Amino acid sequence: MVSSFRLTTNEERLLQLAASRTGKSRSEIVRKAVQTYCRQLLDSEGQTPYERLMASGFKPVDLGETDLSYNKEKQRRLIHERLSKSNR
């Protein structure tokens, strides 16, 4: 099936550079790019932003502390300490 689409000058240069460096045809590169992008788009459909982030391989840094919003007593103590320091 034949399809037509427009590219910017920069996109055209990028496609040409990729074709010349890899030895693949421009059509082959475009087909692979469309396939990869569409699969990725459809795979992430219906996922929450958190699920997409976790699927990307993102790993949060563990500082050994829990979120202060879950520890109200610690939150109060830290606020009190900061206010005490600022009033000195």
**What confidence tens digit (pLDDT) does each residue in 2-47 have?**
889 899 999 999 999 999 999 999 999 999 999 988 888 887 777 7
In the prediction, which pLDDT does 18 show? 95
In the prediction, which pLDDT does 72 show? 74
For the segment 69-84, what is each residue's pLDDT rounded down to a tens digit?
Answer: 667 777 778 888 888 8
Instruction: State whether residue 29 is helix, strand or coil.
Output: helix
Contact 15, 26 (CB under 8 A): yes
DSSP-derived letter for residue 64 is: S
In the prediction, which pLDDT does 88 show? 64
Return all residues near 26 (Cβ < 8 A) that are at least 6 apart.
15, 16, 19
Neighbour-count burial of 30, counting CB atoms closer than 10 A to its CB (0-12 exposed, 13-18 middle, 19+ buried): middle
